[in-house]
Amino acid sequence: MHVTVIGAGLAGSEAAWQLAQRGIDVTLREMKPEKKTPAHETEYFAELCCSNSLRSDQLENAVGLLKEELRRLGSLILQCADATRVEAGGALAVDRHGFARMVTEQIRSHPRITVVPGEVTEIPEGEVVIASGPLTSDALAERLQALLGADTALHFYDAAAPLVTAESVDMDKAWFGSRYDRGTADYVNCPMTEEEYDAFWKELTCAQEAPVHGFEDKMVFEGCMPVEVMARRGHDTLCYGPLKPRGLKDPRTGKEPYAVVQLRRDNADGTVYNLVGFQTHLKFPEQRRVFSMIPALHDAEFLRYGVMHRNTFLNSPRLLDRYYRLQSQPRFSFAGQMTGVEGYVESAASGFLVGVETARRLQGKPPIDFPRETAIGALGLYVSNPSVTVFQPMNINFGIMPPLDHRVKGKRNKNAELSARSLAIIDQIKQEVREA
């Protein structure tokens, strides 16, 4: 039994690992290092192109639940993320290069996985998992378009935030802390007065953007909104988004500032930080000029400027089943962001489910029912739901899971019970899921 997996990102790496762990021989096709997309910098698998955060690790948050489900079920991505985590309050953030390096080493050392470098320009015969990502090469994209039909692919624009050196941040004008003092004090908080924010906002809204072919604000996915696009929506929009001061009291004044820019550690050594929520497609000189108006960043050393690129995803409700298989040709499965799941953990979850179910199908075993009460199941069922008429990329959220059958006071308490219900189901099916 053999499967070809195209793409060694988060989803492809997870799918290949789950297949191999279940006794399936895998050929993993990855075009790096021979060819890279504009968003990739290293030769490693599972490279994180945007933030280094896998978001909340709390069970009162849907993505925290999804991570815990994957942990209990033996996810490679979660194993490597936990092993390379850097402190980020209640979030799971990782050492960007350490994480990707560990995934790569695990994949390359598995006896059942053969890595074949180079661009895929033709779709292979046999069982195929296509996890080539939102920046699928033009040649493969053309083959997929021919396979799927002319009206099956949509696109939106995605953006990455800048990175700065820790030593270049003026700590006389910033402080370490986490919102509402939860967890450890892992974020560098850069406050702004109303006058400082007003000047910053005005320059941000009129700063020069880098040319992006066909770019329009309406094509920006809400979950990865460039900071300048968000700013143009209104003077205080940023203050309710990435610059929200709630729960962040400046220890020097004892009060919440008018606005706060947060920096999150990007590597284990704590020498590199990223500007949280500052995805952007401004020209590089404009990024330096405008972002240096943040008082604590007046002399910031930028190691990487923000970049923007087009993401492509499928009209999955018309094409895929709940296990991410192509309904018209079940030998093909898709995984990752190109299915319309949005986020690192969601991509890994789709790869996990594809790997598990493809192996079971090849071994003559029935599929495992991940119900909508679980985060893994809810995501697959949403992506494949034919009643979804206007399909957009979706992060995991409790809104796509069935409500409780009883009232619970308080959102956090309700979410905690939703998570407990899900994890009880996961524990019941865990042994069956993990069997080789």
User: Do 69 and 176 sit in the same domain of this protein?
Assistant: no
348 is in an annotated binding site: no
User: Do 104 and 203 sit in the same domain of this protein?
Assistant: no
Q: What is the CATH number of the domain that holds 11?
A: 3.50.50.60
User: Do 388 and 372 sit in the same domain of this protein?
Assistant: yes
Give me the residues of the chain with pLDDT under 70, please.
36-40, 150-158, 212-224, 309-310, 390
What does the pLDDT read at residue 281? 86
- Spatial neighbors of 357 by CB under 8 A, at least 6 apart, are 323, 325, 367, 368
User: Do 168 and 292 sit in the same domain of this protein?
Assistant: yes
424 is in an annotated binding site: no
Task: Quote the CA–CA distance of 339 and 323 in Å, as a whole number.
Answer: 11
User: Do 191 and 264 sit in the same domain of this protein?
Assistant: yes
Q: What is the DSSP string of 279-337?
A: ---B-HHHHHHHHTTSGGGTT--EEE--EEEEEEEE-GGGTB-TTSBBTT-TTEEE-SG
Q: What is the CATH number of the domain that holds 236?
A: 2.40.30
355 is in an annotated binding site: no
User: Do 55 and 42 sit in the same domain of this protein?
Assistant: yes
377 is in an annotated binding site: no
What does the pLDDT read at residue 435? 85
Task: Quote the CA–CA distance of 189 and 44 in Å, as a whole number.
Answer: 31
User: Do 152 and 235 sit in the same domain of this protein?
Assistant: no
What does the pLDDT read at residue 225? 80
Task: Quote the CA–CA distance of 164 and 301 in Å, as a whole number.
Answer: 5
Provide the 3-class DSSP secondary structure of residue 60.
coil
What does the pLDDT read at residue 216? 45
Which of residues 305, 323, 340 is at a domain's end? 305
pTM of this structure: 0.75
Q: Which domain holds residue 205?
A: 162-305
User: Do 321 and 273 sit in the same domain of this protein?
Assistant: no
What does the pLDDT read at residue 215? 43
Q: Which residue type is seen at 218?
A: K
User: Do 223 and 300 sit in the same domain of this protein?
Assistant: yes
Length of the chain: 436
What does the pLDDT read at residue 412? 92
User: Do 105 and 123 sit in the same domain of this protein?
Assistant: yes
* Domain count within the chain: 2
User: Do 382 and 353 sit in the same domain of this protein?
Assistant: yes
9 is in an annotated binding site: yes
Which of residues 243, 270, 305 is at a domain's end? 305
What does the pLDDT read at residue 42? 80
Task: Quote the CA–CA distance of 84 and 95 in Å, as a whole number.
Answer: 6
What does the pLDDT read at residue 105? 98
Which of residues 281, 305, 329 is at a domain's end? 305
What does the pLDDT read at residue 217? 47
Q: Model confidence over 165-199: pLDDT tens digits?
A: 998 999 999 999 988 877 788 899 999 999 999 99
11 is in an annotated binding site: yes
User: Do 144 and 15 sit in the same domain of this protein?
Assistant: yes
